[in-house]
Structure 1
């Protein structure tokens, strides 16, 4: 542990020629402590800079420098900041830097060695909060019998948001399980009985429990009843701790209408069990169910049997220009407003594409003018992503034909809802005045060339 006196002596001996910047480890420790404190002492609301200043005695201007991790600050300041949240500053929590750095490039060298992809580490400095999504999600998981629906296009940050909820739940002693329906193969999806048994086994494994299908499965009563009994009499009754269950990629079921109708009807029944004053409602209130999907629901579900019109829905939008500007600052790019404006025009706020571009720009591997150059060649930084999107269209010829119509229609085009929702689900289109248009200039240019 490093004391304020030790660090003050070090900084004084250097005549303030050097400063320190939070390392990745230090940032993650500090943000985790802040989140836990906010949940306990601030009603679950993130601390404002003014509140942090009151708590630490550090000015808001200095706090901003600490949190942006671009400008070196006096080392005793970090000690005070950490101590305000019950932490001791360790050697690995900071990096010594010259104070005259014009950008954060030297800082990032030790923090990010490759473009970000998939789930971001908890409290990553490159994670952007998109209010009110995080606040709503973290608050709702503490509601008995909660049902939360998270919808966003592919690679829009759903997994990173879920990770925060899981971490928060685990802090409070929740049992957690995540089941991605993408893991269900064609055999599993071949019948409702097979699928529900697979689900029960997957959740049991996630909780470290042996499956007991032989004991709780009653063929005479039907698959939905057996699955419900398995959860009620076994998974939820094993412990009084709430179970936070995340069902990811449930849109996989949208193309299996009969299975989906029965399954989603069962989920709605679970939600109703927790709400009604019955003998089992207390048990079902232990379940906090999170349903994650990437497309609009186009199944003809009965309004009273659908889980998609109850509970809390959270939609993750694309980044705004202000949010991209904030990310540009974190990547050490100046002037950040210029990068933000141009990137919004190119990738339309797509979170993954924005992070990919900012990484390459910060490493000086490419400049803004080169992002749209040679767009169909392997040298383009978006090539792998674009080929993946093209591969998806080639697997679904009816969607490929629809995308062809979108890119040749300057004012947009009306599409059949099922096609529109699927294209929107993978992020290829957005809607303007109810007409489908490419979601960004990158897609417009690329697909105009490859779908001729």
Structure 2
């Protein structure tokens, strides 16, 4: 007699819910009235007030990776709030009690640990990055849709740099409060302050920052005369999520122009070039650069350009083996047709198949179920779309059409940055069957309910 396997639920952590996030934003705005400088508290201030690290704060802000409940309690308390059950969602995983659990907790929402057996190397890309980051004045640009492995790759580039004795730090632009994007001087002041703090240097911005000279000059001089001059070894700065700046063209042009200037300073051959050669930059973004940038000022036309590709059928087959599955190439292709070559969607599918012993056909039937394995992911995408009605209408066209659709260029790029579509010769198609099924069904319903 076959014994039915019972799967246990294990609570891993919590993520801020939509209602909790709204409470926080309201509390933050209220705090502005009590702030003597009339500004939102920076994450630096929140970190000092709560004792939470920058890495933890970014997890809270991204709302993608679970954190301890006590972390959220401390965060909410810092704004005078008591954490309520409705303020968070619990991350639940199903585990087979007969399966070994001593390898690592599987969480594919954030960057994979350096020792993760589930990280698939891009052999055509990583050796280039390892070589480039060791060159004086290097600049590496990484582009890929959401959850394609950009931050995981950055972690490995930084690890390679550390192994050779370089200083490294990672800064996500998501750490910057929205209020900073309205003023270049405040943004660059914050940028310098974070870099100074992360390098363990005393903050000398008040002494060095002179409003008479402007933000770009002040920031450049601070890096050259203080940060680089006081470093006895090269510094690798990885700036993640820079596409946030694309929404603020005036700020973006100056910020990206500044990175280009720094890159070129290492090649001038003048008295300060040796200092700028100490600086190596890694810049990562999700979308195409759809804002107008001067070709002679843009950092997106120099350095090493890396575009992360989707995983191939061979890589999916290898990944299936790491999950303990003995697959054929046909099964790998079937899974790619369902969820595309996105590493996150693939990892979740393979983990589900292994844990529950289901077939690909059963997975496909459950893929868009309200309580299915992709429900949180799909709902998060939908919530983002609902903030932009024109973008949602554009996606409705793509998902309900039997032929490729031509969209306005910026809309196509934004949808591509979410991983929802593919663009070929200006023709837009769904990136995988998962999105076609889900959005092809739900978007027309939303349209009817709003117009009816």
TM over 0.5: yes
Runs of 5+ consecutive residues of structure 2 not aligned to the other structure: 1-96, 445-452
Query: Where do 1:19-418 residues align within 5 Å?
Result: 109-364=101-356, 366-418=358-410
**Alpha-carbon distance in 2 for matches of 1:266, 1:198:** 15
Corresponding residue number in structure 2 for 1:443? 435
**Alpha-carbon distance in 2 for matches of 1:362, 1:354:** 12
Assess, with a 3 A threshold, how the Cα gap between structure 1 residues 387 and 366 changes in structure 2: closer, same or farther.
farther
Assess, with a 3 A threshold, how the Cα gap between structure 1 residues 336 and 275 changes in structure 2: closer, same or farther.
same
**Alpha-carbon distance in 2 for matches of 1:335, 1:151:** 30
Deviations 1:124-172 (A, max 9, x none): 2111011221111111100100111000111000111111111111112
Aligned with 1:244: secondary structure?
strand
> Would the aligned equivalents of 2:368 and 2:374 in 1 still touch at CA under 8 Å?
no
> Would the aligned equivalents of 2:368 and 2:437 in 1 still touch at CA under 8 Å?
no
Q: CA RMSD in A?
A: 1.6
- Higher gyration radius (CA): 1
Query: Deviation at 1:237?
Result: 1.1
Corresponding residue number in structure 1 for 2:81? none
**Alpha-carbon distance in 2 for matches of 1:241, 1:336:** 49
**Alpha-carbon distance in 2 for matches of 1:304, 1:271:** 12
Aligned with 1:313: secondary structure?
strand
Does 2:424 align with 1:432? Answer: yes
Query: Deviation at 1:338?
Result: 4.1
Aligned with 2:178: secondary structure?
coil
Deviations 1:288-318 (A, max 9, x none): 0111100000111111111010010011111
TM-score by length of 2: 0.74
**Alpha-carbon distance in 1 for matches of 2:111, 2:178:** 26
Deviations 1:350-370 (A, max 9, x none): 110000000111112643122
> Would the aligned equivalents of 1:295 and 1:421 in 2 still touch at CA under 8 Å?
yes
Corresponding residue number in structure 2 for 1:30? none
Tell me how many residue pairs correspond in the alignment.
348
Aligned with 2:288: secondary structure?
coil
TM-score by length of 1: 0.74
Corresponding residue number in structure 2 for 1:55? none
Query: Deviation at 1:336?
Result: 4.0
Query: Deviation at 1:260?
Result: 0.7
Assess, with a 3 A threshold, how the Cα gap between structure 1 residues 108 and 411 changes in structure 2: closer, same or farther.
farther
Structure 1: 4+ residue segments shifted above 6 A: none
Q: Which moved more, 1:430-439 or 1:302-311?
A: 430-439
Query: Deviation at 1:276?
Result: 0.9
Query: Deviation at 1:106?
Result: 7.6
Assess, with a 3 A threshold, how the Cα gap between structure 1 residues 113 and 181 changes in structure 2: closer, same or farther.
closer
**Alpha-carbon distance in 1 for matches of 2:433, 2:100:** 29
> Would the aligned equivalents of 1:329 and 1:336 in 2 still touch at CA under 8 Å?
no
> Would the aligned equivalents of 2:353 and 2:363 in 1 still touch at CA under 8 Å?
no
> Would the aligned equivalents of 1:176 and 1:206 in 2 still touch at CA under 8 Å?
no
